[in-house]
Structure 1
Amino acid sequence: MTSHPIDRLVLESPEVSEAADRLLAGHPAGEVRVGRPAWPVVMAAIVRRAGHPLLLVPARDEEARDLAADLQAL
């Protein structure tokens, strides 16, 4: 489990925790629905728990650019 306090809070969500568990088992995470403002925090928590890079594909180019900038800030 991760040592970041915010990650522990985010991973309390069953949907997010199950996605992270699937990644740890070497399976696709599947679909995780969260509000746009939470994307960077949720993705950062899942990446840290999984321990390896992930591919996230937002629906729009603008969303992808915004998410990349947000993740770099984390």
Structure 2
Amino acid sequence: MAALAEMKGLPTKALDALVSRTVELIEEPWDARVLYMDQPEFRHTTFGGFGIMYFKVDEATELITIFNVTWVG
């Protein structure tokens, strides 16, 4: 829920970049940096130069969960 609140007020270009990066991650969830070395399922990546998204990969359900979005703005 926190990530949704953080997306409020995101400019259209930033939101488009976030959605685009999310689509890429659905196909290649491991194409992002590890957030915690002992928990590689927690990852982070940038989106279009607008900010950083933090997410968790669940291989068993083939799901990514975005839990934080930080953007410049």
TM-score normalised to the size of structure 2? 0.31
Q: Which structure would you say has the larger RCO, counting Cα contacts within 8 Å and 6 or more residues apart?
A: 1
The structure where strand makes up a greater share of residues is 2
The structure where helix makes up a greater share of residues is 1
